[in-house]
Amino acid sequence: MDSTLAVARKYVDAVVAKDFGAVAGLLADDVVWHQPGENRLSGTHRGAGAVNQLLGAMTTISAGPSSCR
**Predicted local confidence at residue 64, as pLDDT:** 63
Residue 68 belongs to some domain of the structure: no
> What DSSP string runs through the chain?
---HHHHHHHHHHHHHTT-HHHHHHTS-TT-EEEE-SSSTT-EEEESHHHHHHHHHHHHHHTTS-----
Q: Is residue 40 part of a domain?
A: yes
49: containing domain: 4-61
Profile the chain (69 residues) by mean pLDDT over runs of 10 residues.
85 90 92 96 97 90 64
pLDDT at residue 67, as a whole number:
47
Does residue 51 fall inside a structural domain? yes
Report the number of distinct structural domains present in the chain. 1
**CATH code, domain with 14:** 3.10.450.50
Region label for 44, one of left (φ > 0), alpha (ψ between -120 and 50) or beta (otherwise): beta
Q: How far apart are CA 45 and CA 61, in angstroms?
A: 18
CA-to-CA distance for 66 and 68, rounded, in angstroms? Answer: 6
pLDDT for the residue numbered 3: 87
Q: What pLDDT sits at residue 65?
A: 57
